[in-house]
Amino acid sequence: MALIVVMEDDAGTRTLIASVLKKEGHEVATAEDGAQGLAMVEARPPALIISDVQMPGLNGFEMLAALRRNPRLTGIPVILLTSLHERVHMRIGMTTGADDYITKPFRPGELREAVNAQLRKRDMQVSVQDMAVDAAVRTALDVQTRELSKLYERRLAKALSERWPTGDGSNADERFSDATVLFVDIPNYASVSERLSSQELAELVKRFYGSAGDTVYLFGARHMQFIGEGLLAVFVDAANTRSVSHGLRAARAALGLADAARGIRQYLEEHFGARDLPRFDVNVALHSGPVTLARLQDPLHDVSAQILPVGDVVTATMLLQKQAYGLGWSIAASANMLRGVLGAVQVGRRAIVNLPGRSAALDAAELLALAH
């Protein structure tokens, strides 16, 4: 039940109130004056305060004023105890922030009714606040979902031959103050490759990276390229992605890559089950921050030959992917990236990850799924 603090200088009245409340199943803390009671409240905020008005030292009104000045405690309901002939106290109490009053002497039933009314009101207020937060989160996620659906439809309508755009033909570098970098690699690629022929391996690679490229493209990557057996993609905010943040699109792409890996495991089991192949897994890393897409020149033909994503964020993402394998995480996301998708994803284990060659460690967590 609830914790209730009782402030009353009269020992008999204090004992009576505590006895009634304990019989109702509440936890009760008692104080002989307002100063002692306020210290109890500050140390452990209760669900309700019952306070006498006339007390030595800090009286009930002074205690109430101090309580309402404290932002952490101002929402605690207060019931004041006052004598029947002290009607002026009732008016002062109700106009200075008291939630209810009980006149002395009172019957136990009156006390129970007043206490239950205040606790019900508090529970309703908490419920309404929770509902408002939940509704806000659901609304935001619904907007993201609708925008993602529209984005998929637009991108699916394009020819796949145009699926990996490299820009507007300009030779200028593209600088983004905030972007999300995704890097995916196959950690046991060497073990798998030595058990398959070159043709079989080629089919495997085409199946996975064909699916991976389509997944990354459909979630709106600004740029992607192969690096060894890995795939690196850069997500930025652009006009055609509107309210769907680059971090959320990258997170959805990462989860899609994990699904693609499960499809490849099924394919290997069906076609090469007798070969005792190592488990096919991928590790994905996500990190956000400034990124530049540098356009490298072809020295022979003086044309822009290749786009190279550069920046500490790119390097850290590739290093984080290697560490994710050691941690046993399928998808590792930096704290920087997760701040941009707060409330939209579920995370698991968290770690401060040391990245080889970098002086600063990276705060990261395991990305598990989208929030429901």
Distance CA 9, CA 61 (A): 14
- What confidence category does residue 160 fall into, taking pLDDT thresholds of 50, 70 and 90? very low
Of 118-127, 191-200, 206-215, give the lowest mean pLDDT range: 118-127
Distance CA 212, CA 199 (A): 20
Distance CA 94, CA 266 (A): 70
Distance CA 134, CA 179 (A): 28
Per-residue model confidence as pLDDT tens digits over 11-65: 989 999 999 999 999 999 999 999 999 999 999 999 999 999 888 889 888 898 8
Phi, psi of 137 (to 5 degrees): -65, -45
| Buried-exposed string 142-175: b where 16+ CB fall within 10 A, e elsewhere | eebeebbeebeeebeeeeeeeeeeeeeeeeeebe
Burial degree of 12 (CB within 10 A; 0-12, 13-18, 19+): exposed
Beta strands 48-52; 78-83: pairing state: parallel
Are the beta carbons of 157 and 149 closer than 8 angstroms?
no
Per-residue model confidence as pLDDT tens digits over 189-202: 888 888 888 888 88
- Domain architecture of the chain: domains with CATH: 3-124 (3.40.50.2300), 158-370 (3.30.70.1230)
Distance CA 272, CA 267 (A): 8
Are the beta carbons of 37 and 18 closer than 8 angstroms?
no
Half-sphere exposure of 175 (CA within 13 A, CB side): 2
**77 prior amide bond cis, ω within 30:** no
Angle 108-156/246-272 helices, nearest 10 degrees? Answer: 70
Q: What is the pLDDT of residue 157?
A: 47
Burial degree of 29 (CB within 10 A; 0-12, 13-18, 19+): middle
Report helix, strand or coil for 141.
helix
Per-residue model confidence as pLDDT tens digits over 293-330: 998 776 555 545 578 899 999 999 999 999 998 899 99
